Amino acid sequence: MVTIVDARSDHHGALEKACAVLRSGHPVAIPTETVYGLAGDIHAEHAIRRIFEIKGRPASNPLICHVSSIEMACEYVHFDDLALSLANAFWPGPLTLVLPRKMRGAALELASAGLSTLAVRIPQGFSRELIECFGRGLAAPSANISGRVSPTSAVHVQEGLGQRVGLIVDGGTCGIGVESTVVEISECVCALLRPGGLDVSMLERMIGRSIETRSDHTVLKSPGMMASHYAPRARVRLDALEVFPDEALLTFGACSVAGAEAAKSVQNLSVKGSLEEAAARLFDAMLVADRTGATTIAVVPIPLEGLGLAINDRLRRSAAPRIS
């Protein structure tokens, strides 16, 4: 039986219950500002194995270590000056840094997929408070079946994971709605591994130069790098200028789409053309469209700027050929 505790009405109780589950060696679903995470003690081998098992996640796909402070992050990874400046500027928030791993141990080896690097970030809100209360880093990938649409509400978690998780902390709808931006820093070189909730241009302004984009993804150094990911049950068709009767439609701004009146459903990610609003609504809109039974979800072109980079990244991976 899944227990759902509402952190908005019983904040202290939610922290206590979540800490108790974590200390027992089991994962708990928690809200973050990006998406809901399936959190487990990053020092507990059983908890890490259980996260991979619940999600059906390949062991080669590393997890992010969530911490509550830069001081805690320094226990896990090595910071150079560039990494430290980015951490000070953008943490807590939707930025993940992939850095040389400092801490060892069987659980850390599992969480990092055996790599010499580890992805770390400081989340905002309840999740950060939970880490402070728990006193250790948490591995917390998205609380969904691997490769499927990420959850941005407790209802999404319950629908996606069912009885696989014992406790879900309901913190309301996630404010950002897409996962964190991931960059790898090596020898003061900053490379983008995954666009996300932090606009890449803000990072570039901070460091005073363009960020490299890594094209070789044969080694997964962070979550969200698999070709097929964020996928609903329906097929996803991008850059749609028309929609057919058996399709659901995701539109944006004032875009006009031929055949929209006959679509199974029509959802506008942002009537006013806000990429921030579109990012926050993207995963929920995909799940709503999927529930219509549509064979295909048609998506209009989304601008490739700002958070549009993250939106287009998620859409491109959701439309990629399925692994199974």
Characterize the bridge pairing of strands 212-213 and 189-194: parallel
pLDDT attached to residue 310:
97
Q: What per-residue string of b and e applies to 50-80 under the rule 16 or more CB within 10 Å gives b?
A: bbbebbebeeebbbbbbbbebebbbebbebe
- What pLDDT does residue 321 have? 86
User: How is residue 314 written in tokens?
Assistant: 């998620």
Per-residue confidence (pLDDT) for residue 213, from 0 to 100 = 82
The pLDDT, as a whole number, for residue 73 is: 98
49 exposed, middle or buried (CB, 10 Å; 0-12, 13-18, 19+)? middle
pLDDT in tens, the chain (324 residues): 899 999 999 999 999 999 999 999 999 999 999 999 999 999 999 999 999 999 999 999 999 999 999 999 999 999 999 999 999 999 999 999 999 999 889 999 999 999 999 999 999 999 999 999 999 999 999 999 999 999 999 999 999 999 999 999 999 999 999 999 999 998 878 999 999 999 999 999 999 998 988 655 555 666 655 566 778 999 999 999 999 999 999 999 998 899 999 999 999 999 999 999 999 999 999 999 999 999 999 999 999 999 999 999 999 999 998 765
Per-residue CA distances from 81 to 185, 189, 212, 280 (Å): 10, 11, 18, 32
Q: Rounded to two decimals, what is the model's pTM?
A: 0.94
Q: Residue 224 has what pLDDT?
A: 57
Q: Are 119 and 97 in contact (CB under 8 A)?
A: yes
